[in-house]
Chains A and B, each alone.
Chain A
Amino acid sequence: MSIKHLLNLCVLLLIFSCASSEISKIEGKRLDIDATLKTDQAIDDFIKPYRLHINKDMDSVISYAPETYSKTDGKFNTAIGNFMADAVYAEGNPVFKKQTQKDLDFVLLNYGGIRSIISKGNITTRTAYGVMPFENSVVVAGLKGTQIMEMTEYLSRGKRAHPISKQLQLTLDENGKVKSATIHGAPIDENKTYYVATNDYLYDGGDGMTFFHPNEGLYVLNYKIRNILIDHFKKYDTINPKRDQRFIKL
């Protein structure tokens, strides 16, 4: 064996002994993150200014709720749902009108989109974050009367208190079929274009709402539902949500 060979072998040996190791034992466990652990002060100090800023904002009282309102309070319409849909109309319509010189016809949201109750007592910005944690924004779709009919069929099948604003009145008969549907007190005109505000999630077909397509145009208001709630709360010392007759079954 020459020196060169030996060196080559040494190089090989070096490579092989540094090569793959084999697992001999594995231990797995779950560790609790709780109050028994020390709080890392540097981390906590870093968070503090962010926390203070948010808390100051979140805990500022912006309105008052005389009762506790839940989306499960009614079968076809609820005080909280009516409040939300009407708020979207009230705050969204001026923005839409400025863009298009047109008025909204009505608002449709979804039952599942009410993410929390509004508790009796002070309403803070945090309340709005609880009810609407998502970043969804208002969009307006121009829909032919035929699409609105499809929407009322959807609402009759769903048998849930999907929030609608008060401009739409929907009555189901004893069998749950659409008995009457009016917009601004007039029956739905199949050929007319109605401007319906909703959120981008539902417009994209969320919750099985396929009736937003095809449409006669989409208008993006760049107005988050949560910000609508915050702005609406701020306008009233005390809110007054009410269950009414806008969507009922006989």
Chain B
Amino acid sequence: MKRRQFIQKSTAATVLASVGGLSLQSFSSTKTKKITILHTNDVHSHIDPFGPEDGRNANKGGVARRASLVESIRAENPNTLLLDAGDIFQGTPYFNYYGGELEFKLMSMLKYDVATIGNHDFDNGIDGLYAQIPHADFEFVSANYDFTNTVMDTHVKPYKILVKDGIKIGIFGLGVELEGLVGKDMYKETVYLDPIEKAQDMSRILREDEGCDLVICLSHLGYEYKNAPQKVSDISLAKATKDIDLIIGGHTHTFLPKPTVETNSVGKSVLVNQVGCFGLYLGRVDFYFEPGRKVKSDGASIIV
């Protein structure tokens, strides 16, 4: 693919040279483009801020505050995406009382673009999740949960492509193994597929077939399992795959003060990020693009 891209680009350059002064400015803009990715994970129904008496997170979190922060970032850069890496449900009475309705409605009001599914999102069973889908004005992605024989069939796509300022962004989802974590009667006929294999398929489809400029994985696999290295995690996923630019994780409630930079299977950098839980933080990653021009061979500069 790299070779094809190179040939395409040299052809384009030759053409440009041969047609001389032909003006195609509107298409060959040289301005730097900026895509802002905002993300949450494991919010666990934490809609209100923690109270002042809370032993650990006093006065932190809160959806209404997150909303104003997201709005101010969107005002500064309209080319912003808002994503969630799962476990939206379970943790406060809002979920027990309303089954996730308010969580989805608020995420819709905040204009979330895409989310993936965490194990706790099955806590009212797959039927309970399905019942709340009408309240979600955003899309769910999961490439390794096969929902074919469940009510969720057609409501979850393996990936979603969004275009912002001409930049094509591919987002796919990965979920954690459900057996042993969630009751079978809850997830029913949902089939868990190998996340590494699916990630390899997805990144190839998004990068090569769909021609995405940016590939993001929304993962609920967990950040890293040091005591069980054979267990798939965001870190092992980053190392075993290629063509993923950013892995936004969840499940392990890992508070990363800044994204981790890992090296993928072909020696390129991939960012892994996770912002703990309960809506205490918002993750932010800005990608700057130089259109139609290859950057230096050592790749992008990463400032974290």
* B78 is an interface residue with CB less than 8 A from chain A: no
* Contact assessment for A30 and B65 in the assembled complex, using a CB-CB cutoff below 8 Å: no
> What sequence of 0s and 1s flags, for each residue 178-203 of chain B, a beta carbon within 8 Å of any chain A beta carbon?
00000110000000000000000000
* Contact assessment for A44 and B64 in the assembled complex, using a CB-CB cutoff below 8 Å: yes
On chain A, the residues within 8 Å of B162 by CB distance are: none
User: Which of B49, B65, B110, B167 is packed against the most chain A CB atoms within 10 Å?
Assistant: B65
* B5 is an interface residue with CB less than 8 A from chain A: yes
* A51 is an interface residue with CB less than 8 A from chain B: yes
Closest residue on chain A to residue B27 by CB atoms: A17
* B130 is an interface residue with CB less than 8 A from chain A: no
* Contact assessment for A30 and B257 in the assembled complex, using a CB-CB cutoff below 8 Å: yes
* Contact assessment for A54 and B304 in the assembled complex, using a CB-CB cutoff below 8 Å: no
* Contact assessment for B15 and A25 in the assembled complex, using a CB-CB cutoff below 8 Å: no
Closest residue on chain B to residue A35 by CB atoms: B59
Q: Contacts A28-B258, A29-B284 hold; do A16 and B294 have CB atoms under 8 A apart?
A: no
Closest residue on chain A to residue B66 by CB atoms: A33
* A2 is an interface residue with CB less than 8 A from chain B: no
* Contact assessment for B166 and A19 in the assembled complex, using a CB-CB cutoff below 8 Å: no
* A47 is an interface residue with CB less than 8 A from chain B: yes
CB distance from A62 to the nearest CB of B (A): 15
- Residue count of chain A within 8 Å CB distance of chain B: 52
* Contact assessment for A20 and B27 in the assembled complex, using a CB-CB cutoff below 8 Å: no
Q: Is the interface of B mostly helix, strand, loop or mixed?
A: mixed
* A53 is an interface residue with CB less than 8 A from chain B: yes
* A31 is an interface residue with CB less than 8 A from chain B: yes
Instruction: Kindly state the separation between the CA atoms of A140 and B168 in the bound complex, as whole angstroms.
Output: 55
* Contact assessment for A135 and B123 in the assembled complex, using a CB-CB cutoff below 8 Å: yes
* Contact assessment for B288 and A200 in the assembled complex, using a CB-CB cutoff below 8 Å: no
On chain A, the residues within 8 Å of B11 by CB distance are: 12, 16
Instruction: Kindly state the separation between the CA atoms of A19 and B212 in the bound complex, as whole angstroms.
Output: 9
Instruction: Kindly state the separation between the CA atoms of A134 and B66 in the bound complex, as whole angstroms.
Output: 27
CB distance from B238 to the nearest CB of A (A): 14
**Set B64, B102, B110: member contacting A39, Cβ < 8 A:** B64
17 residue pairs from A and B, CB less than 8 Å apart: A9-B15, A16-B9, A21-B289, A21-B292, A26-B287, A26-B288, A28-B304, A29-B304, A30-B282, A31-B284, A37-B68, A40-B64, A46-B106, A51-B48, A133-B91, A134-B123, A204-B184
A residues whose Cβ falls under 8 Å from a Cβ of B: 1, 6, 9-10, 12-14, 16-35, 37-44, 46-47, 50-51, 53-54, 57-58, 126, 129, 133-135, 200-201, 204, 226
Having A20-B211, A21-B167, A201-B183, one finds 17 other A-B pairs with CB under 8 Å, namely A6-B19, A18-B166, A22-B295, A23-B300, A24-B288, A26-B286, A31-B284, A33-B65, A33-B66, A33-B280, A33-B281, A37-B68, A37-B69, A47-B47, A50-B97, A58-B93, A133-B90
B residues whose Cβ falls under 8 Å from a Cβ of A: 5, 8-9, 11-12, 15-16, 18-19, 22, 24, 27-28, 32-33, 47-49, 59-69, 71, 90-91, 93-94, 96-98, 102, 105-106, 109-110, 123-124, 166-168, 183-184, 211, 213-214, 245, 256-259, 271, 273, 275, 279-295, 299-304
